[in-house]
């Protein structure tokens, strides 16, 4: 879309009320002209909004329509300066929503890839494992696996309460070893809780 030349607009133009201009400050330069920054509260999208003729409207759209001319229903003002709080009509161009979205994505650069994992290991070809769209550090995976292997249930010699896993104190249930002493303690505790007898 080609940019529509706008009539001369000036900061603090009398076509907008003073209560509007009370919330606008001059900002950084873009293309030789300053941004007019809305200092009022932004909406959830980061754009300024105010009441105009009983309706809540976007300040950038309001400034464009009052100072330049109406925007058709199918169009929306695109910030050429990429500053959402800017209300300078010279920094806007009416475009379709699809064009506005396309321009927004074209401005963004993809995030840079991290060169190291959280523990400081480099993401080299030999040290990186891809799973779907994510990268994983092989060295961290080996460390985690080694730590888990040492704590595997088959290598433990006692239960978490400290009872030994020997022949008379161990029973197998659903493929795992269990402590008979802990089982007896649980049974007694449940019995006394059920019958409300003090231990």
- Residue range(s) in the chain whose domain bears CATH number 3.90.75: 18-107
Q: Which residue has the higher pLDDT, 79 or 30?
A: 79
- 42 CB-near residues (< 8 Å, 6+ apart): 48, 49, 84, 85
Of 56-65, 171-180, 188-197, give the lowest mean pLDDT range.
Answer: 188-197
Q: Is the pLDDT of residue 162 over 60?
A: yes
What is the structure's pLDDT at 2?
44
Distance CA 107, CA 71 (A): 24
Residue 51: pLDDT band (50, 70, 90) is: confident
Q: Is the pLDDT of residue 5 over 50?
A: no
Q: Is the pLDDT of residue 109 over 60?
A: no
CATH number for the domain whose boundaries are 18-107: 3.90.75
The total of other beta-carbon atoms located within 10 Å of residue 75's CB is: 17
Please give the model's pTM, rounded to 2 decimal places.
0.50
Percent of the chain at pLDDT > 90 equals 3
């Amino acid at each position: 879309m080609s940019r529509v030349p706008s009539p001369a607009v000036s900061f603090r133009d009398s076509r907008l009320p003073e209560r509007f201009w009370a919330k606008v400050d001059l900002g950084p330069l873009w293309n030789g002209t300053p941004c007019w920054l809305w200092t009022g509260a932004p909406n959830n999208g980061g754009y300024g909004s105010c009441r105009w003729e009983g309706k809540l409207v976007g300040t950038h759209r309001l400034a464009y329509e009052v100072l330049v001319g109406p925007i058709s229903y199918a169009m929306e003002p695109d910030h050429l300066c990429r500053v959402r709080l800017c209300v300078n009509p010279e920094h806007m161009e009416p475009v379709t929503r699809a064009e506005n979205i396309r321009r927004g994505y074209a401005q963004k650069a993809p995030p840079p890839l991290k060169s190291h994992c959280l523990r400081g290991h480099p993401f080299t070809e030999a040290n990186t494992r891809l799973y779907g769209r994510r990268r994983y550090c092989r060295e961290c995976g080996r460390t985690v696996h080694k730590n888990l292997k040492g704590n595997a249930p088959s290598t433990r010699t006692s239960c978490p309460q400290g009872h030994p896993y020997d022949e008379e104190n161990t029973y197998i249930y659903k493929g795992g070893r269990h402590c008979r002493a802990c089982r007896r303690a649980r049974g007694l505790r449940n019995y006394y809780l059920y019958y409300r007898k003090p231990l």
